[in-house]
Structure 1
Amino acid sequence: MGDEISSPTFTREQRQRYREKVRRCLDVFERMLATEMFDEDRPLTGLEIELNLVDADRRPAMANAQVLAAIADPAFQTELARYNIELNVPPQALPGDAVLDLETRLRSSLDHADERAARSGSAIVMVGILPTLTPEHLTGDWMSANPRYQALEEAVFAARREDIELDIAGAEHLRMLTATIAPESACTSVQLHLQVNPGDFAANWNAAQLLAGPQLAVGANSPFLFGKQLQAETRIELFRQATDTRSPELRNQGVRPPVFFGDRWITSIFDLFEENVRFFPALLPESTDEDPEAELAAGRAPRLQELRLHNGTVYRWNRPVYDVVDGVPHLRVENRVLPAGPTVVDVLANAAFYYGAVQMLATEDRPTWTKLSFDGARSNFETAARDGVDSVLYWPGYGEVPWDELVLRHLLPLAAEGLRRRHVSTSVIERYLGIIEARAKLRRNGASWQVEAVAALERTGLSRAEALSEMLRLYMDGMHANQPVHTWDLP
């Protein structure tokens, strides 16, 4: 959800003080990276899943406050819109059958939450973009009661000084103006966290960036927005446009957007935090009383709250994270590429593919990213978001290659070996990577199933709105059955 703030508005003096404090935090962070303060003993992984709430007619249910009160579990938190919530899974190690245990716990937790949500007439849906969402749902009292969200909206429009234009081309074309950041709430994702040593961070981040294109081709699940079929993972372009603080003129000048893939391979996590401070203006300039230099001099790990808060408003698809737990600082790569859903088992299959492949790509003697331009990695990412199961990607040693061939011939064997090196059991590898293999062989993921299902329903005479609603009903049946999406029947 991000760090909390106390006020939605800020003075000019606060902004100036915040900029100075962020730079101090950056200097302290640089000094910390030269020490041995960081937690380096536990290669932990973590997981966050953003979720949607729907009513009995499968339309957005603006009820997250009531639902969260009924769930009464701190693992579930609020999100941007009142039809959004988020599930946070505690960090854990991967060895043995841990992922099988995680699947059981996740299903139990979501079943319990769904049962509690039903008491307020709501149901939980795990999907990249809620297919039944319309612009009319995002008017009036749509935003969750949290000063952070109000402050973000005010900051975006203060920077832009004009409405946001959404212009997304795909199978169909969406073009509209919005006077709020409400469309951003349509983007619900799975966030995968990987704790790494400072010396290994750059290799893991570069590997995650390299893998982003294949990740989307494997796991796209967001083909519909506001009744239109757009891109396989429409969420990528929607998130970029719905949070854009730049006017058209600033875009033309090449100013970086807050939603940012990046523009180069890195040599240190410091590269990313320094880039944040140099190029991105503060959206939430709230300062604390912490003296980071004094904390470090006293042998304590400073929170560096201003640096962390600023980092939280630069929406990289692979975000660097600095955090302190029980007084010990650590670093994480936060992978934000994947959409939510379709099922728990699909989410964990996507996670297994990511963690295994990154393990190998980050430890190659001659890393693949040294043979691929950064623009090539960005192009793969954009292609996969647009085309999904029809993607053709570029990969060193393979040239222009269909995504399924790349996955089956190269990335799946890499992922299996990476999981073995993390001491993951054979049963886990076979269960979850077997799902990725089947998706590739059938060329079917959540996005392609949704598109095929809606087309089939429209052929029976249903309108687009009716077909989307009925598709979502079938989707929710599959989600609750926890059968991988590639096995789902079409209507």
Structure 2
Amino acid sequence: MGDDVAAQEFTPADRTRYREKVRRCLDVFERMLRESAFDTDDPWTGIEVELNLVDEAGDPALRNDEVLDAIADPGFQTELGQFNIELNLPPGPLADGGLTACEERLRTSLNAAEERAAAIGAHQVMIGILPTLAPEHLTAEAISANPRYRLLSEQILGARGEDIMIDIHGVERLQTTVDTIMPEAACTSTQFHVQVSPERFASHWNASQAIAGVQIAVGANAPYLLGKHLWAETRIPLFEQATDTRAEELKAQGVRPRVWFGERWITSVFDLFEENVRYFPALLPVIDEEDPLTVLEAGGTPNLSELRLHNGTIYRWNRPVYDISGGLPHLRVENRILAAGPTVVDTVANAAFYFGLVRALAENERPLWSQMSFSAAEENFHAAAEHGIDAEVYWPGVGRVRATELVLRRLLPLAHEGLAAWGVSAEEAHRYLDLIEQRCLAGTNGAAWFARQMQQRRDEDRYDALRAVLGDYRARMHDNQPVHTW
């Protein structure tokens, strides 16, 4: 969830100074885009995976501090809830076996971590929402010890001025009220990073937005929350509601939400950072001593700490990232659409589909977004989140079509083209993209499988059934056989 922030209180003067500093950072960033050399010679990709922790029975294990001590691997970090951890894989190229290497690194890291966590009675699960969560797991007592998380919860609730209402109407309906942002901790995701040049950033971000609905349709993996069967990817409405700083009156006025699909195609990465500064007040107005203009004019690379921290509190589904590596600045698209799992090989298949398809569309001579309204992309996104593998989406030149049919007929060939452009061999591309094809043919992703298993146990106590199906899910997850074969 971003950099650590020490526990503190903020004054109105802090917020005024922070706004001024963020705007100064934005001016420097605009100048850097014109004048600075960004690292673009050998673009890399990266993956982050958020995980849930359960006990032997399958209930949430609120023990992430103990688990991280046992794992003793700096690649694993805390997340918002005590039942969450995150794994960050080192970035690398896709060419010359990059996808296979990613799968091997993921499996090796997760297997080693599982062995150590299991020794203290905790187990990892890759799923979008832990289905055995109960209301008591979404209270302030379950927030991780890192002061950043409690401070962020206080600031969001303070900005809102009232408790948060969660209201999701899916197969069943869930209505509940919470006084922390802990429901956000229920949403665990996989994040795919694509490093791009400033000149190519807009096309990669626009392409990522355009395919968001299709990504969810084939990869949905979060059908249950607090004992209710809701959307195929319930993470989407839950995350949108759990971090909403707007009271009902502000929603009616059209104030933008902090979890945001966006409202337009862009022409530059600057558009996104400028929107962040223009539309959203600070949640964590922490000021760094660096003067970014002084650093830039001295020939250095400014950290732009305030701009980056502010960006980290605005939860775009495709987020722009400014970062520094080896003294050089670079830009990334952070794709935050999907849950992890159900298996490592399924996760890497999702990555291959995203990386390949985005590259093919971003480099197409006739941009897809010139043929498709932004609102159509957003409608696809929410329709796919609700209906998953059965969703219908809009696509230029086709009209409304089953997402699976669109993938099979049009998008998989494009994904193959894109992976070839990355330097991925045809054999390796087929290993992963064929799994996407089989999911579409079988009509099965993580959400669909879980819902079918629960239907077979419909006469049992709901939570007993959820624990039993989750236990089966976890066993199959370790087998690493793709979900369409389950």
The TM-score normalised by the length of structure 1 is 0.98
* Whole-angstrom distance in 2 between the partners of 1:54 and 1:141: 17
Indicate conservation of the 8 Å contact 2:139/2:179, yes or no.
Answer: no
| Corresponding position of 1:102 | 102
Q: Do residues 163 (structure 1) and 163 (structure 2) align?
A: yes
* 2:478 alignment counterpart: 480
The residue aligned with 2:447 is 447
Measured in 2, the distance between the counterparts of 1:8 and 1:126 equals: 34
Give the deviation of 1:3 after TM superposition.
Answer: 1.3
Measured in 1, the distance between the counterparts of 2:186 and 2:428 equals 32
Q: Which amino acid aligns with 2:53?
A: L
Q: What is the aligned partner in structure 2 of residue 348 from structure 1?
A: 348
What does residue 152 of structure 2 align with? 152
CA distance in 1, matches of 2:171, 2:187: 19
1:235-254 correspondence runs (5 A)? 235-254=235-254
What residue in structure 2 maps to residue 259 of structure 1?
259
1:369 is aligned to 369
| Paired residue secondary structure (2:7) | coil
**8 Å Cα contact 1:114-1:123 kept in structure 2:** yes
- Letter aligned with residue 330 of structure 1: H
- What are the superposed Cα offsets for residues 304-333 of structure 1, whole Å, 9 maximum, x if unpaired? 000000000000000000001121100000
Question: How big is the shift at 1:378?
Answer: 0.3
Q: Secondary structure at the match of 2:133?
A: coil
- In the alignment, which residue of structure 2 is the partner of 1:410? 410
Structure 1 distance, partners of 2:156, 2:372, is 34
Corresponding residue of 1:190: 190
Corresponding letter in the other structure for 1:84: N
Query: Aligned-pair distance for 1:101?
Result: 1.9
Matches within 5 A, 1:276-425: 276-425=276-425
Per-residue Cα deviation, 1:433-470 (whole angstroms, up to 9, x for no partner): 00000001111100000000111122xx4221111111
1:97–1:427 CA contact under 8 A, matched in 2: no
Deviations 1:402-460 (A, max 9, x none): 001100000000000110111101221111000000001111100000000111122xx
CA offsets per residue over residues 272-322 of structure 1, 9 Å max, x none? 000000000100100000010000001111000000000000000000000
Q: TM-score, normalised by structure 2?
A: 0.99
Deviation at 1:138, TM superposition (A): 2.3
Q: Secondary structure at the match of 2:132?
A: coil
Partners of 2:321 and 2:102 in 1: CA distance: 23
In structure 2, C-alpha distance between the alignment counterparts of 1:184 and 1:280, rounded to whole Å: 19
Hey, what does 1:274 align to over in structure 2? 274
Partner residue in 2 for 1:70: 70
Letter in 2 for 1:310: H
| Contact 2:140–2:180, Cα closer than 8 Å, also in 1 | no
Which whole-Å CA distance do the structure 1 matches of 2:42 and 2:15 have between them?
Answer: 37
Task: Tell me the equivalent position of 1:60.
Answer: 60
- How far does residue 8 in structure 1 lie from its aligned partner after superposition? 3.8
In 1, distance between residues paired with 2:353 and 2:361? 12
2:91 corresponds to 1:91:
yes
Deviation at residue 4 of structure 1 after TM alignment:
1.5
The CA RMSD over aligned residues, in Å, is: 0.8
- 1:142 equivalent to 2:153? Answer no
- Contact in 1 for aligned 2:140/2:182 (Cα 8 Å): no
- Structure 1 residue 230 corresponds to structure 2 residue 263: no
Tell me, yes or no, if the aligned pair for 1:168 and 1:175 is still in contact at 8 Å: yes
Q: Does 1:427 align with 2:418?
A: no
Moved more, 99-108 or 295-304: 99-108
2:154 is paired with a residue whose SS is helix
Asked if the contact 1:8/1:148 (under 8 Å) is kept, the reply is no
Q: Secondary structure at the match of 2:141?
A: coil
Structure 1 counterpart of 2:180, one-letter code: T
Letter in 1 for 2:471: R
**Residue identity opposite 1:214 in structure 2:** V
1:12 aligns with 2:12: yes
SS in structure 2 of the partner of residue 42 of structure 1? coil
Letter matched to residue 194 of structure 1: V
Within 1, Cα distance between the matches of 2:388 and 2:137? 28
Alpha-carbon shift at residue 140 of structure 1 (Å):
5.4
Point out where structure 2 has 5 or more consecutive residues left out of the alignment.
Answer: none
Percent identity (aligned): 59
Contact 2:139–2:178 (CA<8 Å) still a contact in 1?
no
Question: Which stretch of structure 1 is more off in the superposition, 7-16 or 312-321?
Answer: 7-16
DSSP-derived class of the 2:324 partner: strand
Question: How far 1:99 moved relative to its partner?
Answer: 1.3
Instruction: Tell me the alpha carbon deviations over residues 195-214 of structure 1, each in whole angstroms, 9 at most, x when there is no partner.
Output: 00000000000000001000
Of the structure 1 ranges 35-44 and 296-305, higher mean CA displacement relative to structure 2 is found in 35-44
Distance in 2, Cα, partners of 1:255 & 1:121: 45
Distance in 1, Cα, partners of 2:157 & 2:199: 39
What one-letter code is carried by the residue in structure 2 that aligns with 1:145? Answer: A
**1:80-134 deviations in whole A, cap 9, x for unaligned?**
0101000001110001222112211211110100011012210000100001011
Following the alignment from structure 1 to structure 2, what is the Cα–Cα distance between the partners of residues 36 and 278?
Answer: 24
2:113 alignment partner, SS class:
helix
Superposed CA deviations along residues 334-370 of structure 1, whole A, max 9, x for unmatched, are 0000111111000000000000000011011111110
Cross-structure match for 1:3? 3
Q: 1:467 aligns with which of 452, 458, 465?
A: 465
The question of whether the paired residues in 2 share the 8 Å contact of 1:222 and 1:235 is answered with yes
* Letter in structure 2 aligned against 1:305: S
In structure 2, the partner of 1:221 is 221
SS at 1:204's partner residue? helix
1:117-128 paired onto structure 2 within 5 Å: 117-128=117-128
- Does the CA-based 8 Å contact 1:322-1:329 persist in structure 2? yes
Question: Residues 55 and 122 of structure 2 are in contact (CA less than 8 Å); yes or no, is this contact kept in structure 1?
Answer: yes
Quote the Cα distance in structure 2 between the aligned partners of 1:104 and 1:267: 37
Distance in 1 between the 2:422 and 2:187 partners? Answer: 31
- CA separation in 2, counterparts of 1:56 and 1:135? 20
